[in-house]
C-alpha cells in the first residue's frame, strides 16, 4: 500500500534528511510538510503547507495520512526562554499529533532525546519526557519515539558551540563503553535513515528507540 506521509519540522537538519530518504522509497505516494515558512525545495510528491503553529487546532488539510513524523525541536538557548522552548517541544508536538489523528493517521514517529524523563534531569529532559508521556496517552497503532544522543554531521547553519562540542564528543566517543555506549554522538543521517526505515516494520504499540538501537534500524 502506498503511504501518504505528514511531516512537521522538515526545515530542521534531521527533517531535511528524512524527506530525502522518504523520496527514495517507492512506497511513498505523497509527503505533506507543515512549515512556518516555505522551503526552497520542489518535488512532485511534496506539498508544502505554510501555517501558523499557534493555529494547528484549526488546520484542515483535506486528506488522510497513514504516517506522521514530528521532527520539531529546539533548545532553551535557541527558543530564548524555558516557556518558548516548552511551547515548541511539548505543545507544538502534541498539537501536531492531534492534527495527525484528525486526519486518520494511525502511525506516529517523533524525535525525543536520550535521558528524557518527566521527573528527572533538567528542564530540557523533563520537557521531552512530558512530551513522550502525552503522546503515549494517545491511541496509536504504532508510536515510535527516537531518543538520540548528541546529533552530529554537517549543518547548513554553522554553530561554533555545537561544532566544538561535536569535535570533543568524537574524541571521547571511543571511551564510552558498556552502558555509556548509549551516550555516543550519532550522525543525523543515521537518525533520518532509521526513521525512514519504519515504513517496512509492522509492529503494534509503543517503541522507545534508544541511541544504540537507532543504528540497528539503519538501512545499508
pLDDT digits (tens, 9 = 90+) for 26-70: 999 999 999 998 888 889 999 999 999 999 999 999 999 999 999
Q: What H or E segment, with its residue span, contains residue 180?
A: none
The whole-number pLDDT of residue 161 equals 55
Residue 184: predicted pLDDT: 82
* Residues of the chain above pLDDT 70, percent: 86
pTM assigned to the model? 0.89
Domain ranges of the chain: 3-157+187-216
pLDDT bracket for residue 168 (50, 70, 90): low
CA distance 18 to 191: 8
Confidence (pLDDT) at 200: 87
- Nearest Cα neighbor of 5 from 70, 55, 89 is 70
Helices (H), 137-199: 160-172, 188-197
Kindly report the average pLDDT of the chain as a whole number.
89
Q: 8 phi and psi, to 5 degrees?
A: -115, 140
Architecture of domain 3-157+187-216: 3-Layer(aba) Sandwich (3.40)
In the chain, the DSSP E strands lie at: 3-8, 28-35, 46-50, 67-70, 107-111, 142-147, 151-152, 186-187, 205-210
pLDDT value at residue 42: 87
Band of the pLDDT at 164, cuts 50, 70, 90? low
Amino acid at each position: 500500500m502506498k503511504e501518504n506521509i505528514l511531516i512537521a519540522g522538515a526545515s530542521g537538519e534531521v527533517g531535511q534528511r528524512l524527506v530525502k530518504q522518504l523520496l527514495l522509497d517507492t512506497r511513498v505516494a505523497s509527503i505533506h510538510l507543515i512549515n512556518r515558512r516555505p522551503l526552497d525545495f520542489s518535488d512532485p510528491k511534496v506539498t508544502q503547507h505554510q501555517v501558523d503553529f499557534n493555529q494547528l487546532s484549526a488546520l484542515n488539510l483535506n486528506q488522510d495520512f497513514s504516517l506522521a513524523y514530528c521532527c520539531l525541536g529546539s533548545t532553551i538557548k535557541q527558543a530564548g526562554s524555558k516557556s518558548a522552548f516548552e511551547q515548541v517541544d511539548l505543545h507544538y508536538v502534541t498539537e501536531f499529533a492531534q492534527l495527525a489523528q484528525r486526519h486518520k493517521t494511525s502511525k506516529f514517529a517523533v524525535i525525543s532525546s536520550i535521558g528524557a524523563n518527566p521527573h528527572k534531569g533538567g528542564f530540557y529532559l523533563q520537557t521531552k519526557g512530558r512530551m513522550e508521556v502525552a503522546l503515549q496517552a494517545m491511541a496509536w497503532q504504532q508510536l515510535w519515539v527516537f531518543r538520540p544522543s548528541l546529533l552530529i554531521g554537517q549543518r547548513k547553519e554553522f554553530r561554533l558551540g555545537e561544532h566544538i562540542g561535536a569535535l570533543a564528543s568524537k574524541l571521547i566517543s571511543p571511551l564510552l563503553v558498556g552502558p555509556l555506549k548509549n551516550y555516543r554522538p550519532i550522525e543525523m543521517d543515521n537518525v533520518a535513515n532509521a526513521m525512514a526505515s519504519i515504513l517496512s516494520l509492522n509492529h503494534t504499540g509503543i517503541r522507545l528507540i534508544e541511541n544504540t538501537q537507532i543504528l540497528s534500524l539503519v538501512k545499508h
